Chains A and B, each alone.
Chain A
Amino acid sequence: MQVIQELEREQIKPDVPDCGPGDTVRVHVRVSEGGKERVQVFEGTVIARQHGSVRESIIVRKLSHGVGVERTFLLHSPKIDKIEVTRRGLVRRAKLYYLRGKVGKATRIKERRER
């Protein structure tokens, strides 16, 4: 078992930002199309952070042209260039799946202010 942990540790990024449910993030993803590589930005609210070790991921939700879009990002994936946290949210649960059924004002999240 120790060997497996060692192998996983080699791939874990040391600089994964502390981002959790309620936070608004900008995820920079490396996209390669036609042999070229460019960086695409996906901005939205983190509605869940799940799994652990190399499999750790976040689900980011945003509204695109009135349609809800959710993407799962593996935090330790080499395809992720960087993750910026633009806003901290104050929420009382770990999974914000209730946001899926809501639009507009109902999807607001209180901002968390460090005291």
Chain B
Amino acid sequence: MEACIIGKKIGMTSLYDASGNLVPVTVVKADPCVVVQRKTVGSDGYSAVQIGAFEARLRKAPQGSKKPKTALKRHGLNAPQAGHFVKAGTGFYKHLKEFRISVEDTVEVGHELTVEQFQPGDTLAVTGTSKGKGFAGVVKRYHFHGADMTHGSMIHRKPQSGGATDPAHVFKGSGRPGRMGGDQVTVRSTKVFRVDTERGLLLLKGAVPGANGEVVTIKRLRAGKGEG
């Protein structure tokens, strides 16, 4: 099966590689993920695995509440969500994510996926939610050049012309100020720097989308030749 895992971005640091160069590294913590559902062409029309990550722990029953939550709901999940895990017979997980896999792959529900799938040097696609930038102008949002700050320029960071006057409207897709960030972003050239099986860590070379603590999904694109 294609190597894939769900992890949490812990943060960035820099570490020395084997040849003594200081390399920027993103640390991703990935607890063992579990296959919760196997989707097949026969049952769902396509082939995929659904993977659960980060165990949802059972919370204590609240004392003396009028409507005590059932044991299932005490995982912080609602009844349909909890029922999905009961049906799978796996543990309860906070995050579910689907990965397309080839039809011939035989993976069973309950199969554990760990960081051991990965090797230093592997090329990955890392998907996360980018940091929210709020309401951003066109210079930041679309890399407009902006105008002079000095020389009597009274326009600095405005969008300026929105297009020709003849069409009498602004074409769709032209750059305007607005909400930026908080989108799903995939980086497709990230290399594995090191795999720490003891602590369940993946050290990736370079940056990864999202703030620290963000959930990232990792999929291998190409296997590396051992050392990164």
Task: Report which A residues bind B (CB closer than 8 A).
Answer: 1, 3-4, 7-8, 11, 30, 54-55, 74, 76-79
Contacts and interface: CB of A to CB of B under 8 A. Distances in A.
Given A55-B22, A77-B22, A8 B15 contact: yes
Nearest to A57: B22
Contacts of B27: 3-4, 7
Interface residues of B, number: 14
Contacts, number: 36
Contact of B16 (A1, A3, A11): A11
Given A3-B201, A77-B22, A79-B20, A54 B14 contact: yes
Interface of B: 10-16, 20, 22, 27, 29, 199, 201, 203
B20 A1 contact: no
**Chain B contact residues: over half helix, strand or loop, or mixed?**
strand
Nearest to A55: B14
Question: What 4 A-B pairs have minimum CB-CB distances, sorted nearest first?
Answer: A79-B20, A78-B20, A4-B13, A4-B11
A78 B16 contact: yes
B15 A7 contact: yes
Contacts of A8: 13, 15
A30 B19 CA distance: 11
B10 A1 contact: yes
Contact of B10 (A4, A30, A54, A76): A4
